[in-house]
Amino acid sequence: MANLEINFAGIKAPNPFWLASGPPTNSGYQIMKAFDQGWGGAVWKTLGVPVVNVSSRYGGMNHRGTRVVGFNNIELITDRRLCDNLREMEEVKKHFPNHAVIASLMVQTKKEWQQIVSDVQNAGADGIELNFGCPHGMCERGMGSVVGQEPEVLETITRWVMEVAKIPVVVKLTPNISDITKPAQAARRAGANAISLINTIQSLIGVDIDNFVTYPVVENHSTNGGYCGPAVKPIALNMVKNCAQHPLVRLPISGIGGVENWRDAVEFILLGASSVQICTAVMHYGFGIIRDLTSGLGQYMDSHGFSTIDQFVGKALPNVKTWEELNLNYSIKATIDSKKCIGCQLCYIACEDGAHQAIELNDDKNDRIPRINEENCVGCNLCSLICPVENCITMIRKDDGKQSQSWKQRTEANHVPTTFNDELAGGLSHSVPDPMEALKK
């Protein structure tokens, strides 16, 4: 039976699932309830000089009937007094000594940083997370993402914290930067014990097109906020991978961004995260999702023969290469299973207008099952992604697998296009219809 316990940079927890700093960790009441239901840890709603929030403060992006595929907020750090949070933190630790309580912090001066670090240590926190990520409101005050965007400032503040920290320190990074590994390296140089990512992505969730104001609306106005939820997962996965692969980072990673179920969590772990934090999914579905998370993860580990989380942290990383290392000779073609096909012809229109005109319709209008023209098919995957029937279009390998050659190798062999009209252009291998054919259809 899989053991879900983790030791994340010295912070022990019964499982890798932690509540990310946000509304679900606003109070001891919520965190106690979450631990009682099975959560392994919680990063307390960011503590600092308490703020005053606006209403409304959230916006959601719905997509074709699915609510909140993306979520946006203009909320700031805690609006509760430090003394109340610390008292509740102590209480939580008293009842749940084996669960991870991490204090998220955001203040300004060296004196404030060192004071609040000492306060949360005295309250029994197991770790500290430095919030260098919030992309709205706090950054205008010189905190949050403006620190995360300046590696040198991040390094200086982290050093202030490390001078007094007796418990592990996690630096939370902002995705609002072109190269996430730069602040990650700064965290490492400053002696931080771990990093967590991502915080929210600066965004406007939408515009009220009748009243000419963006969401969420505060009276008649609005402002940019932070984007999170399922839609940001691909961005977060890429940034986690970048940090995990970078030779000068080499810190434990807590993966955050769009996790809703155990599969999402496994993806983060396979790309190098050794704990996973969740905010939006809890705001959407409540603490009860922990049952799916822990049981699903346990079953996944059992079925793959992993007895501990450590055994598969980063297991997908060796397979993530640069583009120039990929095999250009690998060739796949689409195949339609005529028994499964429902004749919707969505694949035809997608390939005809949006890809390579490699799907043909029958002259007999009663036969709605399309055919693949293998010669034109470039194996892009589009039709198989579009097809509404599971496994109806599959991609079949056509090359013999014996002659792998990457762009890098072809460049070294002088076998790549280098001029505008080069005969080595990849597109010469499949035919493109004459433009006038378009008007005959």
Minimal distance, residue 182 CB to ligand FMN, in Å: 19
Q: Which of residues 165, 180, 239, 392 is near ligand SF4 by CB under 6 A?
A: 392
The set of residues, in sequence order, having a beta carbon less than 8 Å from that of 416 and lying 6+ positions away, is 407, 410, 424
CB 351, CB 359: distance < 8 Å: yes
User: Among residues 55 and 405, whose Cβ is nearest to ligand FMN?
Assistant: 55
Among ligand FMN, ligand SF4, none, what binds residue 380 when CB lies within 5 to 8 Å by partner kind? ligand SF4
200 binds ligand FMN (CB under 6 A): yes
Q: Which of residues 173, 231, 249, 387 is near ligand SF4 by CB under 6 A?
A: 387
- Strand residues in 58-191 grouped as ranges (E): 58-63, 66-73, 100-105, 127-131, 169-172
User: Among residues 210 and 364, whose Cβ is nearest to ligand SF4?
Assistant: 364
Q: How far apart are CA 334 and CA 395, in angstroms?
A: 5
**C-alpha angle 273/164/177, rounded to 5°?**
40
CA distances to 372, 394, 429 from 334, in Å: 7, 6, 17
* Interface stretch with ligand FMN, choices 10-18, 178-186, 256-264, 367-375 (CB under 6 A): 256-264
Question: Which residues are part of the catalytic machinery?
Answer: 134
Alpha helices (H) along 140-286: 145-148, 151-164, 181-189, 233-245, 262-270, 280-285
User: Among residues 128 and 256, whose Cβ is nearest to ligand FMN?
Assistant: 256
User: Among residues 54 and 346, whose Cβ is nearest to ligand SF4?
Assistant: 346
Q: How far apart are CA 362 and CA 62, in angstroms?
A: 37
**C-alpha angle 136/137/141, rounded to 5°?**
120
Q: Which of residues 171, 184, 370, 440 is near ligand SF4 by CB under 6 A?
A: 370
User: Among residues 216 and 314, whose Cβ is nearest to ligand FMN?
Assistant: 216
Q: Which of residues 345, 394, 406, 409 is near ligand SF4 by CB under 6 A?
A: 345
Per-residue x/- mask for ligand FMN, residues 159 to 178, rule CB under 6 A? Answer: -------------x------
21 binds ligand FMN (CB under 6 A): yes
Among ligand FMN, ligand SF4, none, what binds residue 343 when CB lies within 5 to 8 Å by partner kind? ligand SF4
- Strand residues in 220-376 grouped as ranges (E): 225-228, 253-256, 273-278, 332-336, 359-360, 371-372
Q: How far apart are CA 296 and CA 281, in angstroms?
A: 16
Among ligand FMN, ligand SF4, none, what binds residue 393 when CB lies within 5 to 8 Å by partner kind? ligand SF4
* Interface stretch with ligand SF4, choices 157-165, 239-247, 350-358, 413-421 (CB under 6 A): 350-358
Minimal distance, residue 428 CB to ligand SF4, in Å: 16
Chain positions 48 to 107 lying near ligand FMN, rule: CB under 6 A, are: 71, 73, 75, 77, 104
User: What DSSP line would sit under 367-420, residue for residue?
Assistant: ----EE-TTT-----HHHHH-SSTTTEEEEE-S-S----BHHHHHHTT-S--ST
Structure token digits, residue 112? 């404030």
* Three-state SS at 222: coil
Q: How far apart are CA 217 and CA 228, in angstroms?
A: 18
* Interface stretch with ligand SF4, choices 61-69, 156-164, 353-361, 396-404 (CB under 6 A): 353-361
Q: Residues in the site for ligand FMN, rule: CB under 6 A?
A: 20-23, 45-46, 71, 73, 75, 77, 104, 131, 133-134, 172, 199-200, 228-229, 232, 256-259, 278-281
Please report, as ranges, the residues that interact with ligand SF4 according to CB under 6 A. Answer: 334, 336, 341-347, 351, 355-356, 358-359, 370, 372, 377-383, 387, 389, 392-393
